[in-house]
């Protein structure tokens, strides 16, 4: 990810083009709703295919969204191609609702890595309920091994 | 999950029925290939839809598989309905290959929780390469909040 | 920890009495500088004994402070005796300075657990620099196993 | 840490010299009891000063030992000066006993980082009980920021 001097609209558009190149994000239906250097909002409408046997969104869906949001936050903070090196997630409430919203931000960014945090909310009729908190490390592509 | 006295075949069958009830696991195509109390092997054939823009499996796919494997390991160790409360994952290599294999086991199990570990391998022509390590906490359903 | 109806001064005093009962906190020299339900600030003057071979505070010192701050945040949010069940920490900068300050807060609290976050700063001549970020789960005493 | 061609005795001795240069490890009383490239055993006799208000070793003591063991495992695997970048720890049992023993090993090592795992046991009359599991990332010194 590059060019922090881009206009806000162009920056968001750049982020959407990256998302469009991720077939898995397309399969799940993720939408990039806000992006600026070091900050991101990703949303995911919840449909039955994304659920597990108890009726709420599968943990893997929530962790996908957190992982991707962390990567955007760290990548736009570092302005280089990145991958998520590691993260941890705490699920604090079943992800029940019409959509998920993940917001992440880079908290500490250096040359080689960025540490970011993310919250995931389940939204029902406009009411957001916190359902997961994540924290992870984003590194330059190729630095992981 | 219940009844550790079931035959190995019946136990695996029980686990497969649970997986079949998870629409998200069906969407991704996960397969339960081994299950005994506290131990599990899950596999996931990699198709283009599960990839990201660099050509390897999306981190969210790898973390889904780890999360689900941890839940099976902890749930079959505790023999009660469970959810994953939290986990952390380290990606150590791009997940390139024909399929992913996740193996998890419960390392410490009590009445209220089980701590489990998981390794995820990418498999190409029968050769397994470690691509992620995870560790997490599985708790009785309803204990999380 | 108990009695959220206590005056702010009495609440802080209660917290200091708990800290005084932890011999390890005494050995390190931790000071409780602020406490309210779900929020805490712990400080630790840095002396040579707390350092490692590169001259900055040992990671174990930073993680001790984060762990203890998370426990206070979760314990005062839940108002029951608690222990830290798990946490993760990212070190983002060498902990160089005259003292460490850890601030933690409970982010999601239920009957059985609280998920809290913490930042640790190294302070030199009044200037704070972020050196670590932590996130963890606090549970009722006796629930861990 | 360097020179994997050293004799096992010289390698262990090298590790002990590093430990001796960590004032905090001296304050706590840690002992390096085994070391080879990518593998380590650290021990810590438990005295009252290392405990908390419930009578068992403070979580910060356990996390110190895990953190240090992870660093040794990753550092001896990479053979360069390193620091722990991040780790997570699950406490699974109160650390009650005469001493703690931590064993760690590098699980995946590349040029820029090593991912290691650690188990911490509490020992009473020669009987070891698992009390914590950790997993973390060790990076070249100077790569963290």
Whole-angstrom distance, CA of residue D110 vs CA of residue D115: 9
pLDDT, residue D107, reads 98
Which residues 98-137 on chain C approach chain D with CB closer than 8 angstroms? Answer: none
| Predicted confidence (pLDDT) at residue A111 exceeds the cutoff of 70 | yes
The confidence band for B144, taking pLDDT boundaries of 50, 70 and 90, is: low
* Range from B11-15, C104-108, D139-143 carrying the lowest mean pLDDT: D139-143
Residue B3 clears pLDDT 60, i.e. is over it: no
Report the share of chain D in percent with pLDDT over 90. 88
Work out the minimum CA distance from A105 to partner chain B, whole angstroms: 18
| C61, C65, C71, C76 from C121: Cα distances, Å | 12, 11, 18, 22
Residue A143 has pLDDT above 70, yes or no: no
Any idea what DSSP says for residue C10? H
- Contact check, Cβ <8 Å, D108/B117: no
What pLDDT is attached to residue C138? 98
Q: What does the buried/exposed string (b/e) look like for D96-121 if buried means 16 or more CB atoms within 10 Å of the residue's CB?
A: ebebbbbbbbbbbbeebbbbbbbbbb
- What tokens were used for A11? 């920056």
Sign of the CA dihedral with D51 first, then D54, D55, and D59 last: negative
Residues from chain B that touch D77, judged by Cβ atoms under 8 A, are none
SS (H, E, C) A84-105: EEEEEEEECCCCCCCEEEEEEE
Mutate to test the interface with C, among A90, A93, A114 (most CBs of C within 10 A): A90
C21-30 mean pLDDT: 95
- Rounded to a whole number, what is the distance in angstroms from the first to the last CA of chain A? 21
> Strand, coil or helix: what is D141?
coil
Domains of chain B: 8-140 (3.10.129.10)
pLDDT at B5 > cutoff 90? no
**Mean pLDDT, range C10-35, rounded to an integer:** 96
Partner residue opposite C107 with nearest CB, options A108, A133, A137? A133
Provide the pLDDT for residue B6: 84
pLDDT at D4: 56
- Give the gap in angstroms from C-alpha D26 to the nearest C-alpha of chain A: 31
- Under the banding of pLDDT at 50, 70 and 90, the label for residue C51 is confident
Determine the Cα–Cα distance for residues C123 and B135; give it in Å rounded to an integer: 33
3-state secondary structure of B12: helix
Residue B131 pLDDT level (bands cut at 50, 70, 90): very high
CA–CA dist B51, B100 (Å, integer): 12
Residue D27 has pLDDT above 90, yes or no: yes
Average pLDDT, chain C: 93
Q: How many pairs of residues across B and D have Cβ atoms under 8 Å apart?
A: 39
Determine how many CB atoms are found less than 10 A away from the CB of residue D53: 16
* Residue A139 clears pLDDT 90, i.e. is over it: yes
pLDDT for residue D90 is more than 80: yes
The pLDDT score that the predictor gives to residue B1 is: 47
C24 touches chain D (CB under 8 A): yes
C10 to chain A, minimum CA–CA distance in Å?
A: 31
pLDDT band at A54 (very low <50, low <70, confident <90, very high): confident
> Residue B51 corresponds to which tokens in the numbers above?
């990839």
d(CA A103, CA C51): 36
Least confident of A14-18, A49-53, C120-124, D128-132: A49-53
CA distance B142 to B85: 10
Gap between the Cα atoms of D105 and C59, Å rounded: 18
Q: Residue D73 is encoded by which pair of tokens?
A: 């495992």
* D29: closest chain C residue by CA: C49
Residues 6+ apart with CB under 8 A from C139: B112, C82, C83, C85, C112, C113
> C62, C89, C90: best mutation site toward chain A, by most A Cβ within 10 Å?
C90
Residues 6 or more apart whose CB falls under 8 angstroms from that of A127 comprise none
Three-class SS state of B118: strand
Entry pTM:
0.95
Q: In A3-132, where does DSSP find H-type helix?
A: 8-20, 23-28, 59-78
Query: CA of B92 to nearest chain D CA: how many angstroms apart?
Result: 7
Q: Which helix (H) or strand (E) holds A138?
A: strand A127-140
Q: Residue B60: how many CB atoms within 10 A of its CB? A: 28
Q: Which of A1-10, A121-130, D12-21, D133-142 shows the lowest per-residue confidence on average (mean pLDDT)?
A: A1-10
CA end-to-end distance (rounded Å), chain B? 21
Determine the distance in angstroms separating the CA of D67 from the nearest CA of chain C, rounded to an integer: 7
| Both tokens assigned to B7 | 């035959």
> How is residue B124 written in tokens?
């190409």
Give pLDDT tens digits for C119-128: 999 999 999 9
Pick the residue from chain B with its C-alpha nearest to D137.
B90
What are chain C's partners, defined as 3 or more CB pairs within 8 angstroms? A, B, D
Q: Does position C24 have pLDDT exceeding 80, yes or no? A: yes
Quickly state the pLDDT bin for C40 (edges 50, 70, 90): very high
- Alpha-carbon distance of A73 to B40, in angstroms, equals 34
Contacts of B113 in chain C (CB under 8 A): 85, 143-145
CB contacts of C107 in chain A (<8 Å) are: 92, 130, 133
> pLDDT digits over C53-110, tens only?
777 999 999 999 999 999 999 999 999 999 999 999 999 999 999 999 999 999 999 9
Tens-digit pLDDT profile for residues D62-71: 999 999 999 9
What are the chain B neighbours of A52 within 8 Å (beta carbons)?
21-25
- pLDDT tens for residues B70-129? 999 999 999 999 999 999 999 999 999 999 999 999 999 999 999 999 999 999 999 999
* Structure tokens, B141: 């359903």
Interface of A with D in 50-89 (CB under 8 A): 85-86, 88
- Subunits adjacent to chain D (3 or more Cβ pairs under 8 Å): A, B, C
């Amino acid at each position: 990810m590059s060019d922090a001097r881009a206009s806000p609209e162009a920056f968001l558009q750049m982020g959407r083009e990256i998302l469009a190149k991720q077939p898995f994000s397309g399969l799940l239906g993720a939408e990039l709703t806000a992006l600026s250097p070091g900050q991101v909002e990703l949303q995911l409408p919840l449909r039955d295919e994304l659920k597990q046997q108890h009726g709420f969104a599968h943990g893997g869906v929530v962790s996908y969204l957190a992982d991707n949001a962390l990567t955007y936050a760290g990548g736009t903070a570092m302005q280089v191609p990145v991958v998520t090196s590691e993260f941890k997630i705490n699920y604090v409430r079943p992800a029940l609702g019409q959509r998920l919203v993940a917001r992440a931000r880079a908290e500490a960014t250096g040359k080689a890595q960025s540490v970011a945090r993310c919250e995931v909310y389940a939204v029902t009729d406009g009411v957001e309920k916190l359902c997961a908190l994540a924290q992870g490390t984003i590194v330059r592509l190729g630095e992981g091994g």
